[in-house]
Structure 1
């Protein structure tokens, strides 16, 4: 039961009628920011981070210099050729990337080992702090399963209410859904949810007829219409889950730090069912807290934003985070896809702090079920991050904010760099094997020049590189061993170590495949191909044999080509490259294996604390999501057969804009023509495509024409494909 009076109700707003989806508007101005001009705000007094950043960057530079020197010694035995120079440059770039990640992980290891609190001073073990401000909980959704989405939202709502501060929160479902059946199902589920939790609850639903600028435009539209009534907004995702304890502590942290614009939590993966999702869940739960502690330690007030499970101060967001539309054509022009990095950078540019709370538990998300789904999502992220190349010169960005953009860009450019490194390495070996070397070049030379590399030193360089990649996992294991309770929830130290070894092998086998996928994505984007915005799959990961062959034929062929080239040089070279080649050759079997649900041993091997002792909010969300429900076959039939749903739908459509002469909605115009040709309601519903149904559902006059048609149950007409 809520212990705090709701200030909105105290003002006399009263209960919300069941067929009203939205509260009265409280507009807030939000203008698009300029990227070429900026007037710096007054200097802000944030905690100095130069010493911590100096440690990380100096350590990165030292490790990179050492790696560069050793690689130079490997290549310089017989003099460095042009191809060997390319190898050296590529190695330095890639090794610097690995060293930078290693230093952040090392910082996180010492932070966790010493038990140092984060910069915000959030103590998850302390009693729940009091909060006074009003917060809006925003759940953007786009063609997702409404039953699962609202089941999670209800579980979060109940968890917040159990804290005693439920009246401090208003809840908004912000739909950008374009599928007409899903849209009407959303409305139906929303009305059912409001009825179940009580129509006096501050639970609202808004649907946009046009999803301009996708998620960022969805949030911005809400801020413009309703942001004035709230101090903060907490952004969820369709697969987000958060505990009431975590949410209240985030609000309290914002109240305690008035210069903080954003606090990002560390979402932990839950509900993994396929083998791929299970090892992603295990890796994220074991390594994630250490990596997050490290980056939070040296990012300080110049943190980053990951788009969800974060709380944002609306005043800072409205004034400084309005996104402009980029010049040029897609994929580099148009609306900004990876908006979260840029919104964080813009708010920091405006003098606000961006923080991360790495030790605050109770923030969850889900993982794509298969490698194919992961790659599909990664393709969208790749385009969004490469789009940031145009935003790097933005005036006024803090240098750490630029570093965030470079890190995001580099996370995708490293894949083609690795591929180039491997290809050039094979070319060097092929040159040494098949091209006649010039032992005595023109000009005076006392000794012949022998093209050669030092194989023993090369092995040591390889071992050092692998060490920087694997050591953070072992450091995470050490931190786990210091926490008895968490260690037990992982199944014990031995089982956790076995999971680390298995996860390392599986990730090593799939890494070459992702290298090919990401390299292909980078190439497509650089040649101007737009990926669009596909809905993420969240089922158990089943994938057809045809899709497997189609998706993984290129990695398999690349593996065959690499194996043939390496074997033509020597068997030792083939064995040397076997980790990469094997991953490519086994891409189809690995995709099949990783998409399976796994055995009991696999489930036990990748056990996580959230599986051993699931939090109540997770149990409740899964319980609600598994309640049987009927699917909606036709939205027009649903509205006709349910008067309450029809009334609610019509009353909450946006006001119809006056149409300009010559400005014709082609889908609506075609729908009108099809409806005029129909002799019955069933015939009209059958004539319309999905896009035409969507247009009709947004037009009350046309909907009235459809519902005015007589019934003819015997008339059946197949609907054309969209």
Structure 2
């Protein structure tokens, strides 16, 4: 690397600090008198949408509960029948509410046909665009942020935005690769590009702590911040529109977009990508309609009012140990709750185009991610009763909790149903009770009503998919982008079949997550796989063999009890028996691309890729060709004195060492360096933890740099 690095403003890895206090908030105390008064005329509450959503959901649940009661009431009700009724009500209420929200979203989109706002001509405020990164491939995240930067510059409003990579990376080689890619990006964009990089030595409180550290040290310099994930992509139009919306609405605290999934090629990811594009707008619009300005935050692709966030969103530590204690994992819901409690509004712009993200490439990857999300949402049980929260906020928490609790509830309902059939088939019932009756108490059900209720349940469950498909068919660009009416319909049928087969697997996965968390097992925070790729077949077999065994057990038990029971449960049984092969197929890029070639599961953004996505991919490939992603960090420091100087400038000032305070890892690292005869010895001997110690310590870096190279072999 050129020795002019030092001249290229390496001292400006970050701008001058501009501190902003971020006090920890209390969940148990809140004075309503401290709630901020609205500065603009208060808009109407969305009472009609809320009445249709919650009133309709309640009415549908009451009707379903009555029908189920009539189903089981034939011949008297036993304890198991009561249990079946309670479980049915819990599960049916969940899908009834989603159905009614879908109806609202469908009607709203059908009538309004929202149009895209124009890019604002001018802005008055400063916005920080922040991307927290954690052990990600630098070529991907740097290429993505450069593409976003260029697109914002193209709007003519680039002077209002500064750009930040906020690294919590714990892998020493990736950390060094991030710094090298950052310097390369600085050289490519020139000295006027306000792009910055900060690495935290300790990733305290994970992503929430990463954002909090930025706000407390630099937040006062910015009116707003746009928060991205490592897989986020947003157009200049979307970012500028969000900034203008914040300027024009002083009551807004958080404005959320609806990210669409792009760039996916494996079977599982393409199914998710298609579902999010075709059905997602209906669900999101229904959610937006009833939420109004009492909405939620999903942690990325959103803009936040910085001062309000600092003043009201300092997350408390929950008492006790994880998984229910400690720092809050799913911080975004809680931050939305706290800023709404303070009197700011939180709302969504579901129709704003230009907001994108990616998705996990396989069933196992999404199960791994959901383990962390499950713990975070169950943790919200302790936040649900916090003082001063808006009722809509409590509903958001309940929705998140039910997203995972519903799986063990469905599993319990299936189990109770099997027990009831088993009881009717093999256990001698007490036909006559001790009280005198003329007729025996036969253990029977109303089969005709039961079938009708099953059909209604399936219709309620699948209706939002149908709404999305109808809207897509009515929208010319979307219909053509999806391959035409026939291919779009076939894609929807294929997605529905895949979802039906994968649903019982995910039910067991989520049920397992819930049980692990209830028994006190904490989750880790492993980086998410972003790239397409399959999982080793042996790993898939280990992960799903219990699911297959349970599927065969259900099949055998069903055949012994009643063949009609097998027919009733065939989607569940088939999904479990095929779990290993479905999971294997889910991660196969070849299957996804084969479907793409025949025009199935295709989205408009895939047929006509957004320019920013194409540019981000090109930049990522160019950066990957530099070789930063897979280079050895110690060798990079050793081989390039210019980069070594830059790295040392990036490090924060070293705290004074207390005499007698010897850190074991540092002592071991120093001993290995002193014992090494060449750089090859040091590279070979250093463990990951020792590499991190070395790279944080200027004195140890000096020892590394003075090691000799291996002797050149003698020439014959």
Identify whether the pair has TM-score above 0.5, normalized to the shorter chain.
yes
1:637 aligns with 2:626: no
Greater Cα offset, 94-103 or 628-637: 628-637
Check the 8 A contact 2:10/2:650 in 1, yes or no.
no
* Residue 180 (structure 2) pairs with residue 182 (structure 1): no
Deviation at 1:643, TM superposition (A): 1.7
What residue is the counterpart of 1:246 in the other structure?
238
Q: 2-side partners of 1:433 and 1:250: how far apart?
A: 62
1:338 equivalent to 2:330? Answer yes
Q: Is the 8 A contact 1:129 1:252 kept in 2?
A: no
1:63 aligns with 2:60: yes
**Among 16, 24, 30, the residue aligned to 2:22:** 30
Alignment root-mean-square deviation, CA: 1.5
Shift of 1:681: 2.7
Equivalence for 1:720: none
1:104-125, CA deviations, whole angstroms, 9 ceiling, x for partnerless residues? 11110011011165xxxxx525
CA shift in 2, pair 1:660/1:72, >3 Å: farther
C-alpha change, 1:568 and 1:659, in structure 2 (3 Å) is farther
* Alignment partner, residue 46 of structure 2: 49
Q: Match of 1:602?
A: 595
Question: 3-state DSSP class of the match of 2:619?
Answer: helix
> Given the alignment of the two structures, is residue 696 of structure 1 paired with residue 688 of structure 2, yes or no?
no
Q: 1:479 deviation in Å?
A: 1.3
Count of aligned pairs: 696
Cα pair distance change 1:709/1:626, threshold 3 Å = closer
TM-score by length of 2: 0.95
2:73 counterpart SS class? helix
* Aligned with residue 540 of structure 1, among 532, 547, 554: 532
2:209 is paired with a residue whose SS is helix
CA distance in 2: counterparts of 1:17 and 1:127, whole angstroms: 33
Partner of 1:655: 653
Task: Give the match for residue 459 of structure 2.
Answer: 467
User: Taking structure 1 as reference, are residues 418 and 205 closer, same or farther at Cα in structure 2, changes over 3 Å only?
Assistant: same
Provide the rounded CA distance (Å) in 2 between the counterparts of 1:269 and 1:416.
Answer: 28
Aligned to 2:618: 623
Alignment counterpart, residue 97 of structure 1, candidates 88, 94, 97 = 94
Partner residue of 1:442 out of 434, 439, 448: 434
The counterpart of 1:679, out of the listed 677, 680, 683, is 677
Residue deviations 1:21-74 (CA, integer Å, cap 9, x gap): 111111111111011111221454453233321221110110000100111111
Post-superposition offset of 1:101: 0.5
* Aligned with residue 367 of structure 1, among 359, 371, 384: 359
Post-superposition offset of 1:19: 5.2
Distance in 2 separating the partners of 1:398 and 1:663: 50
**Pairwise CA distance, 1:600:** 5.2
**Corresponding residue of 2:70:** 73
Partner Cα separation in structure 2 for residue 227 and residue 624 of structure 1: 29
Check whether the contact 2:36–2:342 (CA below 8 A) recurs between aligned residues.
Answer: no
CA deviation after TM superposition for structure 1 residue 622, in Å: 1.1
In 2, the alpha carbon distance for the partners of 1:163 and 1:700 equals 42
- Shift of the alpha carbon at 1:530? 0.8
3-state DSSP of counterpart to 1:308: coil
Q: Kindly provide the CA deviation profile for residues 650-686 of structure 1, in whole angstroms up to 9, marking residues without a partner as x.
A: 0110111234566553322221222222233321222
Per-residue Cα deviation, 1:193-227 (whole angstroms, up to 9, x for no partner): 11001122100000000000000000000001111
Gapped regions of structure 2 (runs ≥ 5) = 1-6
CA contact (8 A) 1:636 1:685 kept: yes
Structure 1: stretches of 5+ with no match in the other structure: 1-14, 118-122, 716-722
More displaced, 450-459 or 208-217? 450-459
The answer to whether structure 1 residue 612 and structure 2 residue 607 are counterparts is yes
Secondary structure of the corresponding residue to residue 263 of structure 1 = strand
Q: Is the 8 A contact 2:266 2:592 kept in 1?
A: no
> Residue in 2 aligned with 1:10?
none
What is the CA distance between 1:623 and its match in structure 2?
1.3
SS at match of 1:605: coil
More displaced stretch, 561-570 vs 689-698: 561-570
Q: Tell me the distance in 2 between the aligned counterparts of 1:608 and 1:236.
A: 23
Deviations 1:67-117 (A, max 9, x none): 001111111111111111100000001000000001111110011011165
Secondary structure at the aligned position of 1:626 is classed as helix
SS at match of 2:74: helix
Deviation at 1:358, TM superposition (A): 0.6
Q: State how 1:522-561 maps to structure 2 within 5 Å.
A: 522-561=514-553
Against the structure 1 CA distance between its residues 661 and 558, is the aligned structure 2 distance closer, same or farther, given a 3 Å change threshold? farther
